[in-house]
A and B are shown apart, each in its own frame.
Chain A
Amino acid sequence: MLMQLVVNGIVVGSIIAMGAIGLTMVYGILNFANFSHADFMALGAYIAFLLNVTLGLNIILSFFISIVITGAIGVLLDFLVWKPMRKKKADLVSLIIISIGIALIIRNGLIFFWGGGSRHYDLPVLKGTEMFGVIVTYNQIIAFGTALVFMIIVHYLLKYTRTGKAMRALSDDIDLARISGINVDKVIQWMWFVGISLAGAAGVLYALETAIRPNMGWFLLLPMFAAVILGGIGNPYGAIVGGMIIGLSQEISTLFLPSEYKLGVSLAIMIVVLLYKPEGIFKGTKI
């Protein structure tokens, strides 16, 4: 039983982690909590659904096209909303409220076009395998494997590419980065692309694990924020570890708590961190 929950927790945790990376990058660089981030997960899942089911494309192709489109929408929003607000030097509270507006638009846009019910991808039904008495579904293996690959790619992006290094510079001190000749707007657009397409990818993986629903992001928003805060704001590696911890705790908590209260576990962890270690558990190891 416990082992089963651990497996589930690792899978969900890796999905939360993947979403949390983008959330923490925005938080670190642009300095605000983006409440629309989780809805981009749902958006990614639905775009993949459109490609896979409505247009009949193969799921792998749909997955990749969907994350590119989702990421591009993230960049588009930078042009439409975030960049003008940056130019105005808007305070962070207005950005937060705007992000809630965007969340409402996306979520209800999905309901408008696809209704409120659950949907599934067009996939061969694969039975799970049993390993050491624990059932692991193929979808779980795929979700975890893909999440792992993406996180490794992000690591390489941040460590070894010029844009990745520039992102780290921005997250340290955006004004200093500007003075030292970094094209701040361009780097920020890359950041949106990476962060939001990761969210889209996480959404598709989560939908594989569960189902495609318009409010699927909503139930991951709080766990993702908990992961970000736990890992220290602006720290993608912290967000990954945070995501795993949150995913595992949520699943294992079902041993003692009704599973409806999983969200409460995220909230509780977050409050404990805020009270005792508001800078997160990995302070000083930014990006």
Chain B
Amino acid sequence: MSEFKTVFGSLENYEKGHIEIIDDDPKAYAFSNIFEVANQSAPYEKVVVGKNLKYVIETLRAEGDSDWYTCAHDEFVVCMDGEIEVHLVKLNNSASYTPENKEGSVKLESDPEGPKMGRIILRHGHQALLPKGSAYRFSNRKKPGVLIMQTICGDHSVEKWAEICYS
């Protein structure tokens, strides 16, 4: 038995930190908590919780089935809570969905056409590659989970800083 207890957060159990200001504006830190954000999100809403110019980290509440998405560059997800299935399809004509220079996730209007690439079941702490030019969909029929996604700010990214940040 370990003498150390590693503390992770979850949708149901998290404790948000805080900022002690000496000579500063708390808004400088754009401080939020991904579990608090996911508790207030619609299923698979791509809420931006980190933004470094065009690059973003999004928090997604994983509940039920998501739409299908594709992207012209690699994206990555890390499962922070729950059990989330990722379905991957190689798009027959990926350039028709996303020009090479298009950045961010792109929602598909209909089911993807192309061969299945595989399927991944993510649990706590697991990371998956969403390879460029593929279509992907998340599925979670169990209790709601949380993903963080590394991507670029795109058409479906949602920014609501004033609602989520410590101020």
| Co-assembled chains A and B | no
| A contact residues vs B (CB 8 Å cutoff) | none
Interface residues of B (CB under 8 A from A): none
